[in-house]
Amino acid sequence: MREYFPEGTAGKPFEASPELWEDFEGCKLAAIANAEAADNLNNAAMSGNKGDVFEALKQTAATCSGCHKVYRLN
């Protein structure tokens, strides 16, 4: 995560919220959850099961928006 948000990158043009630095461990956990959800989405897509893909897509989107609500300015 630090390569994406090195210290001092709060604000524009990076759009990182100061909350990212106040709760960097939480941000790392959110990134791990997103990576796991993306892996699940990939596996679901490879299975060809549309229901599984839809559920995995919802889970992935939830990890994206959940992180952005807390750790992104916009």
Decide if 31 contacts 67 (C-beta within 8 A). Answer: yes
Q: Check whether 62 has a pLDDT greater than 80.
A: yes
pLDDT of residue 9: 67
Number of H helices, E strands in the chain: 3, 0
Q: Is the pTM of this model over 0.85?
A: no
**Alpha-carbon span 53 to 74, nearest angstrom:** 28
What per-residue confidence (pLDDT) applies to 43?
97
The residue-averaged pLDDT of 19-33 equals 89
Which two structure tokens, joined as six digits, stand for 3?
A: 């390569």
Q: What is the pLDDT of residue 54?
A: 97
Between 7-11, 18-22, 59-63, the lowest mean confidence (pLDDT) is in 7-11
